[in-house]
Amino acid sequence: MGRYTGPKDRLSRREGKELFGRQREALQRRLKQPPGQHGERRASRMSTYGVQFREKQGVKRMYGLRERQFKRFLVLAYKNKDIPTGTALLQLLEQRLDNVVYRLGMAKTRPQARQFVSQGHILVNSAVLNVPSYIVKPGDVISMTQKMFANPFVLDILKQTQYIPAWMEVKEGAGHVLRVPERDEMDKDINEDLIIGFYSR
Do residue 140 and residue 154 come from a single domain?
yes
Number of domains in the chain: 2
131 is a domain residue: yes
Do residue 16 and residue 75 come from a single domain?
yes
Question: Which domain CATH number covers 41?
Answer: 1.10.1050.10
Do residue 115 and residue 172 come from a single domain?
yes
Element (H, E) at 128: strand 127-128
* Strand partners of residue 161: none
Do residue 21 and residue 44 come from a single domain?
yes
69 is a domain residue: yes
2 is a domain residue: no
120 is a domain residue: yes
Q: What is the pLDDT of residue 1?
A: 47
**Which whole-number Å values give the CA distances from 17 to 9, 59, 116, 120, 140, in the listed order?**
10, 10, 25, 30, 31
Do residue 63 and residue 30 come from a single domain?
yes
CA–CA distance, 184 with 42 (Å, rounded to integer): 34
184 is a domain residue: no
Q: What is the pLDDT of residue 32?
A: 62
Residue-by-residue pLDDT tens, the chain, 201 positions: 455 566 666 776 666 777 776 555 665 566 566 666 655 555 568 999 999 999 999 999 999 999 999 999 999 999 999 999 999 999 999 999 999 999 999 999 999 999 999 999 999 999 999 999 999 999 999 999 999 988 999 999 998 878 899 999 999 889 999 999 999 999 999 999 999 999 998
3 is a domain residue: no
CA–CA distance, 156 with 179 (Å, rounded to integer): 28
Do residue 132 and residue 72 come from a single domain?
no
CA–CA distance, 192 with 77 (Å, rounded to integer): 12
Q: What is the pLDDT of residue 80?
A: 96
Q: What is the pLDDT of residue 142?
A: 98
Owning domain of residue 72: 8-92+189-199
102 is a domain residue: yes
Question: Which domain CATH number covers 145?
Answer: 3.10.290.10
Do residue 194 and residue 143 come from a single domain?
no
